[in-house]
Amino acid sequence: MAIFEASRPHMPHYGLLGPGEGRGLLPWAWADARLAACRNYWLSTVCDDGAPHAMAVWAVWHRDALFFSTDGASRKARNLKRDPRCVVTTESAAEAVVVEGRAAIERDAALLGDVATRYRAKYEMGYPDRSEVYRVTPAVVFGFIEDASEFTGTATRWRAVGAGRRR
């Protein structure tokens, strides 16, 4: 399992409180639970001309990574093969989780079997035929509670230990 270190995100002029103020930093379990419970995720990739591309995907959060399937000829697959950097968000902005990471086609047969079983249990169907299964490995994760009374005292950034310095 990955280890994630929590801190406040760098957001000048948003009035964020110190890490020990307000409700304090959110625990990793908060983000983990929302990533696991989410039904629809938003995946953002970058096209070859630099334009952003966002698409809703079904996915499974497992072992601190997000697994989703797509046809190898889809725009998101073509984008990720050229540039694996991506952003995945949960569907709820009220308690948002934003994952910045890298995607790669998963090839571990045992892990793919476990993920497929979890996917079928969650969505009551398997991956579409001809799907490639991608694993998104987080580098930075953000958690936000939208409510005005909570936002400044709960906004949290988790960095995967060993990940490069970012926002």
Mean per-residue pLDDT for 120-140?
Answer: 95
Q: What is the pLDDT of residues 94-107, one digit of tens each?
A: 999 999 999 999 99
pLDDT of residue 165: 46
Quickly count: other Cβ atoms within 10 Å of residue 86's Cβ: 21
- Give how many domains the chain has, as a whole number: 1
Query: Quick check: is 20 in a domain?
Result: yes
Q: What is the pLDDT of residue 128?
A: 87
Q: What mean pLDDT comes out for the span 91-118? A: 97
Is 83 contained in some domain? Answer: yes
Is residue 150 over pLDDT 70? yes
Please report which confidence band the pLDDT of residue 87 belongs to, taking 50, 70 and 90 as the band edges: very high
Which pLDDT belongs to residue 151? Answer: 96
Residue 162's pLDDT band, with cuts at 50, 70 and 90, is low
Distant-in-sequence, close-in-space partners of 88: CB < 8 Å, separation ≥ 6:
41, 42, 43, 44, 59, 66, 98, 99, 101, 136
Residue 164 has pLDDT above 70, yes or no: no
**Distance between CA atoms of residues 158 and 5, nearest Å:** 5
Q: What per-residue string of b and e applies to 21-44 under the rule 16 or more CB within 10 Å gives b? A: ebeebbebebbbebbeebeebebb
What's the whole-model pTM score?
0.93
* 53 within domain boundaries: yes
Q: Does residue 32 sit in helix, strand or coil?
A: helix
Domain, as residue range, for 143: 4-160
133 assigned to some structural domain: yes
What is the per-residue pLDDT for 49?
Answer: 97
Q: Are 42 and 54 within 8 A, CB to CB?
A: yes
Residue 135: CATH number of its domain: 2.30.110.10
Is 61 a domain residue? yes
- With a cut of 50, say whether residue 118 has pLDDT above it: yes
The verdict on residue 126 lying in a domain is yes
Task: Please state, in angstroms and rounded to a whole number, the distance separating the CA atoms of residues 95 and 110.
Answer: 33
Query: Residue 93 has what pLDDT?
Result: 93
Query: Is 123 a domain residue?
Result: yes
Residue 165: inside a domain? no
In angstroms, rounded to a whole number, what is the distance separating the alpha carbons of residues 104 and 81?
8
Name 52's bridge partners: 46
Among 37-41, 66-70, 116-120, 127-131, where is mean pLDDT lowest?
Answer: 127-131
